[in-house]
Amino acid sequence: MSTFQAPKGTYDLLPPSSATYLAVRDAISAPLKNSGYGYVETPGFENVELFARGVGESTDIVTKEMYAFETKGGDKLALRPEGTASVLRAALEANLHKAGNLPVKLWYSGSYYRYERPQKGRYRHFSQVGAEAIGAEDPALDAELIILADQAYRSLGLRNFRILLNSLGDKECRPVYRAALQDFLRALDLDEETLRRAEINPLRVLDDKRADVQKQLADAPLMPDYLCEACKAYHKEVRELLDAAGVVYEDDAKLVRGLDYYTRTTFEFVHDGLGSQSAVGGGGRYDGLSEMIGGPSLPSVGWALGVDRTVLALEAEGVDLELPATTSVFAVPLGEEARRVLFGKVVELRKAGIATDFSYGGKGLKGAMKNANRSGARFTLVAGERDLADGVVQLKDMESGEQGPVALDAILETLKAKLG
């Protein structure tokens, strides 16, 4: 055992469970790749001001959870706590919005970091797959992203999740609602920290998970009652497009996200089998974020889905993914000449796209066959001096136990036929 352990609140992904995480990432990204989204990758850390401006200085993420530090050169940086601000910064820096083909549609995958109290489903290091459509104000884009996330989850076999949907209004109607909500909150028996938050961003109070706060919010004014006609029409079209696509959702007038940049459409995917950490993903429209970080007006929409949370949701539903075999063929040489010949065949099979492993370390037949069993290989190739003298290897079907000789120059074609 090492002297060191993974930092508190983090985890290591190791085989065989890591294969499930890779499968989840692939399933979430597959619909995006099929819908015009290109891959983007950003640094694991950014200028701390990017998140302070974009995510919001009143959010828990910025005030309590962000890993911020100063470099030896005096730069103030932060490990990325979320992906949207970084992706938008990268698109602006590369002038992707000036190419004349809006929206710019991007997807990403990576690790993110927040200093939180570790618990199941909530870690200080977590993995997400995200998607952003930058530079267009269109209800069809909002609907598209919700549909693609729904499609991704269903392709994994998940069924017991719900989609919560709301509109947070825009710069025309949100201030009116904000004032009404602040008036309501000032009359409640709230602690000093919550009252301070209510003055900075009262919508964040609606997201407070404490039971005593939620009880007092029972009669709070709701955003849908304050939407302007433009926002009502926009939200109506999003809902109609989802209905037409057969996507089931629930209207949730109190739904707000944990980031300050959201406007109009906001949504969350929740799974009731995960207890208090029920959100597996979410997102919404952020029409003013580009201007907040010094860019031009670029109305945009996006989401991030938690890989960790999705794996927990699969476990809660008892869904076992069909994972591709990591090894189809395992080669076992008996003797130095067999080692040289079979290693050459292993290289040949790999070049042909057949997942092949080799018995390393000069193990005997019994130990090598144990390794072959552990690898999950469908076939083994075994060769000793007598086999090579006859120009063959022994091919064993690990499922049926059948074994027989195959000519050295026919190994590739034989395995192609047997593996389909």
CA end-to-end span of the chain:
42
What is the pLDDT confidence band of residue 18, given thresholds at 50, 70 and 90?
very high
Tell me, what's the pLDDT at 369?
93
What is the pLDDT confidence band of residue 259, given thresholds at 50, 70 and 90?
low
Mean pLDDT of all residues belonging to the chain: 92
Tell me, what's the pLDDT at 197?
82
**pLDDT beyond 90 at 362:** no
CA–CA dist 301, 81 (Å, integer) = 18
Q: What type of residue sits at position 16?
A: P
What is the rounded radius of gyration, in angstroms, for the C-alpha atoms of the chain?
27
233: left (phi over 0), alpha (psi -120 to 50) or beta: alpha
Tell me, what's the pLDDT at 260?
66
pLDDT tens string 80-101: 999 999 999 999 999 999 988 8
Could you tell me which residue, 37 or 278, shows the higher pLDDT? Answer: 37
228: left (phi over 0), alpha (psi -120 to 50) or beta: beta
**pLDDT beyond 90 at 202:** no
The residues that bridge with 292 in the sheet, in sequence order, are: none
**pLDDT beyond 80 at 62:** no
Q: What type of residue sits at position 409?
A: D
Query: What percentage of the chain reaches a pLDDT higher than 90?
Result: 74
Q: What residue segments make up the domains of the chain, in order of their start?
A: 18-173+227-317, 329-419
The candidate with the shortest Cα–Cα distance to 298, out of 285, 316, 311, is 285
**pLDDT beyond 90 at 65:** no
Q: What is the average pLDDT across 318-341?
A: 92
Give me the CATH code for the 329-419 domain, please: 3.40.50.800
**pTM for this structure?**
0.89
Give me the CATH code for the 18-173+227-317 domain, please: 3.30.930.10
Tell me, what's the pLDDT at 5?
93
What is the pLDDT confidence band of residue 234, given thresholds at 50, 70 and 90?
very high
Tell me, what's the pLDDT at 153?
97
Give helix then strand counts, H and E, for the chain.
16, 16
What is the pLDDT confidence band of residue 59, given thresholds at 50, 70 and 90?
low
What is the pLDDT confidence band of residue 22, given thresholds at 50, 70 and 90?
very high
Strand pairing category for 104-113 and 38-39? parallel
Task: Tell me how many degrees the CA angle 40-43-49 measures, rounded to the nearest 5.
Answer: 110
What is the DSSP-derived secondary structure letter of residue 119?
Answer: B
Phi first, then psi: what are they for 202, rounded to 5°? -60, -25
CA–CA dist 36, 140 (Å, integer) = 14
pLDDT tens string 245-258: 999 999 999 888 76
Tell me, what's the pLDDT at 42?
97
